[in-house]
Chain A
């Protein structure tokens, strides 16, 4: 525990990023075979950097709470999505995932339905690497202070799940359709955590 805290602090100093995702690898058991689609992000170093670019206090504080969560897999391996401190626009090209809240409306211009969150790659490694260098997660501002905690965690889990490489499935928070945020579907499954710990 002390070791990963030290690493997070070192990381925040070194890269001056506010939010860090620290993925720890336990090494207590064999990592399961990786699903071929599961490695969409390539990290610039051993840690996945996770930063906020949200400029409005209210949105930042609300979504920051959900972005900060921890999971353990069946081997005791810990996957942290860990927020260290608030910081605005202090991320850089080495940051792996950037999140912010945006007004995605009640009806999306394209799909016509309500968007809770979205994920897209904003910078890729040049081909033939089919991997993302910097992914972006957006939360719909309309839901700031207007959803349950379970839904908030589920939306964060779902979008971050996309960013690290999961497609829609009937596993954990990666259900495609409402209501994927009803527990226990609002978190990563043990298997998904193992995939993350095996890949990153």
Chain B
């Protein structure tokens, strides 16, 4: 075997290790679990929209499925002293149009959600939550699709300011859900259904605008 060949094999082996070893050690500490919420849809699209103070359209520009960690309150219901911190992820959108709320086009709007939880204070293994309503944003392993993987897709965003319901002290964070808008202006909601509908919960963006008087 020549020196060049040996060097090539060494490089290939290093690449293999880089490609396999680090993700394996990371995923080997993660258990993926569904975060199951059972919901009652509103009777009408109008009612659903009335409960969303911020409605906009935009494209994904940044994601981080582990943006923040917050220790749990051991005295709060459901927690123990040995419980590890909760983990919160973010999805940021560049706002294209604003249908409702104080945003302006061109602004960045960041949605925060509970993406997981460390099992113990030692943080050796963690849970990654998957959500039905985030079916368009998450992968099966609980991580988020990258902006490139969204391939320029446009979403309708139905949100509210975070207002401390997730205990992260950053301004301008929102909670909410998204629904992709197709080329024909059709907005299709993943589960859970936001309003009672016979088949899939889908509606024209124009109908949303009309329903909120835009």
Contact = CB atoms under 8 A, between A and B. Distances in A.
A193 B166 CA distance: 37
A96 interface: no
A93 B82 contact: yes
B9 to A, nearest CB: 31
A92 B80 contact: yes
Interface residues of B, number: 48
Interface string A90-114: 0011000010101000111111111
Interface string B111-127: 00100010110001101
B30 A113 contact: no
Contact of B31 (A102, A117, A121, A176): A121
B39 interface: yes
A22 B118 CA distance: 29
A176 B191 contact: yes
A47 to B, nearest CB: 20
A162 B130 CA distance: 14
Interface residues of A, number: 48
B68 interface: no
A120 B35 contact: yes
B192 A132 contact: no
Interface stretch (B14-22, B40-48, B146-154): B40-48
Contact of B39 (A102, A108, A120, A159): A108
A167 interface: yes
A110 B176 contact: yes
A70 interface: no
A196 B205 CA distance: 44
Interface in B55-109: 77-80, 82-83
Contacts of A167: 34
Given A110-B131, A110-B133, A176-B192, A116 B38 contact: yes
A98 B131 contact: no
Given A109-B165, A110-B177, A111-B192, A40 B33 contact: yes
A124 B127 CA distance: 7
Interface of B: 27-42, 48, 51-52, 77-80, 82-83, 113, 117, 119-120, 124-125, 127, 129, 131, 133, 158, 160, 162, 165-166, 175-177, 191-194, 196
Which 9 A-B pairs give the minimum distances between C-beta atoms? A109-B175, A107-B51, A124-B31, A121-B33, A126-B125, A118-B37, A100-B77, A162-B36, A119-B36
Interface of A: 40, 53-55, 92-93, 98, 100, 102, 106-133, 136, 138, 155, 158-159, 162, 167, 176-178, 180
